[in-house]
Amino acid sequence: MLFARWIVRSAVVATAAFALTGCPSLSQRGELPPSADRADALARQGDQVGAARVYEALAKQNSGADRNEFLFRAARAYLSAHLPEDAARVIADAEPPFSPEQTSERALFDVQLALERGQGQQAWQRITALAEPRTAPEAAQYFKLKQQAAFAAARPADAVSAEIALERYLPNAQELRQSRVNLLGALRDASEHGAKIDPRTTTDLVVRGWLDLAPIAAAAARNPNGAIHDIEAWRTRNPNHPANEVVRTELLSRQPSQPIEAETHIALLLPITGRQAAAATSVRDGFMTAYYQSAAAQRPRVRVYDTGEGGGIAEAVVHATQAGAEFIVGPLTREEVIAAAELAGPRPPILALNFLPTERPAPATFYQYALSPEDEARLAARRILDDGHRRGIALVPAGDWGSRVLAAFKQELETGGGGLFATATIDTSLTDYSDPVTQILRIADSRARHKRLESILGTKLQFEPRRRGDLEFIFAPAQASTERLLRPQLRFHYAGDVPTYATSDAFEPDPRANQDLEGLMFPDMPWMLGSDLADAVRAATRDAWPSGGPRRGRLFAFGFDAYRLAIGLRERAAMNSVSVDGLTGHLSVDADRRIHRELNWAQIHNGEIRVLPASGQAAPPAAAQALAPAQ
């Protein structure tokens, strides 16, 4: 793909990471004595958390300078694993005296911690308060961090200036070129995510030239064929600019010099521009990550069509078909998917990235794949029944999302012989859900009985409200911010001991807030709960994007699996027998050409995520259940 080097620059790393299937388990690791060699090996394998724990163990066995060195190594590993609080805890344990190098690194740790916590302005203030180091390695690290901090603080001109200063300390031409490629990619990403980049804010011609490239690089990613004129115009204006070589290799050499002729390819239809741009960009980044993880000889051609421009989905499908698309992935939004399903005329098979309404049958060769909360609600109902529960209550957010999730859950529960005593809705614009909670738990009835007894007896009675005693479960799906308010309120109103289930929307990997979800059970994808595949992809993307790269949440995993599904469906569409172990779950296709996801179940226990055994299976050892927070 024309912009693919920015999507993943390290396909070799990804391939190597997928081969690491022999990593020791947590229980195996605990049986071995700590050693620096083992910690280094774990770090090379991508297990930064495991390496950090070994370094911490080594620090406990040493003192003085050796102890500090191991603590610093542990902090570096925790930062590589995006666990800033663990890194801060370890650094706080280090005790003076520090070597000059450690003193300098300790100051830079503060900058990295702010970046990992999403505190861009604080990171910028901290880095600018530091003096420029004198030695080349320390100066290189300083300016790399300064560039990251500037982008995080929405100061693109300062980010460019930091990269220009960094170039003085790079040891060879290869690293110099890679630094410029990284800067071009970072400017493109900033432009795509709506950052304000105005070349007129600086009089430095080199900095101005770099800033001028940001929207051009973003346009080249969206519409490769339409960017040639702007690229050539930039080169005419900046004949001696240091970015000229990477513009030629990263932009111009990938642009077709003639209008694109029809050729066999997979078309990816996404609204790269418009209000859905952020979601579409995440899906695209995941899709292209999977593309570059696959063997080069087996990669089909891929073209991205922006459905946010021009004539919408109809024009994009016609254009892709005429250009030789043999398979279409997309569109993304439900409205676009409905429009695509209504198109008449010849077209290649489509893997739509959303579901049609249940009352709309899909046309021939029209597959549907989505991260559907309704499907997860059905999974929750089946899990509840498998856990031996039959009767309970449901608390859902008011609005369309809650209504759809509740309807799917209730249908599946009743089909399996269960039922709901009552349902209630909560207003997510509020923070106090006491009224619906006390009503559905019948605590209000308990208080009313107490008042009646006092009135009859004419005396004050000792009283503790009681919830209804016939509850076997609570179904409480909601977004994470709402769930973190609802779960403590259920505990406060005497329902903390009732098995409570939700969908994956209730969970975001934030160790600082997991305590608020204590006891909650939910299904989620391997990308969030962990798997060999997820660990390998995460390691590869960390190496491909040293400065952070794109956001890699659930939509990134969705795009990754969309590519793998497209390849499988393209090859075996006639048999409808595709089966993929992906980042979003185990995927299979049914007779109606809908993709089904099988997910793992997890529970928050003592602030940690623990994978639950499959229904009817014994629980695994606690050491094997505990997971590091997802990145």
Determine how β-strand 366-368 pairs with β-strand 391-397.
unpaired
Instruction: Give me the residues of the chain with pLDDT under 50, please.
Output: 1-31, 255-260, 450, 463, 618-631
How far is Cα 186 from Cα 549, in angstroms, rounded to an integer? 8
| Amino acid 222: pLDDT | 66
| Amino acid 449: pLDDT | 55
CA quadruple 67, 68, 70, 74: dihedral positive or negative? Answer: positive
Q: Angle formed by the axes of helices 11-18 and 277-293, to 10°?
A: 70
Count other C-beta atoms under 10 Å from residue 194's C-beta.
Answer: 9
Residue carrying structure tokens 């009732």: 498
Q: Domain limits of the chain? A: 373-529+602-625
| Amino acid 620: pLDDT | 40
How far is Cα 251 from Cα 244, in angstroms, rounded to an integer? 10
Contacts of 408 by beta carbon, 8 Å cutoff, 6+ apart = 374, 375, 377, 378
Q: Which of these CATH numbers, 3.90.75.20, 3.40.50.300, 3.40.50.2300, 3.40.47.10, describes 373-529+602-625? A: 3.40.50.2300
Q: Give me 34's structure tokens.
A: 């700590």
| Beta bridge mates, 304 | 268
Cβ 593 vs Cβ 514: under 8 Å: no
| Amino acid 465: pLDDT | 60
Cβ 501 vs Cβ 474: under 8 Å: yes
| Amino acid 630: pLDDT | 40
Torsion angle, CA of 68/73/76/82, rounded to 10 degrees? -110
| Amino acid 104: pLDDT | 85
Torsion angle, CA of 622/623/626/627, rounded to 10 degrees? -160
How far is Cα 287 from Cα 565, in angstroms, rounded to an integer? 10
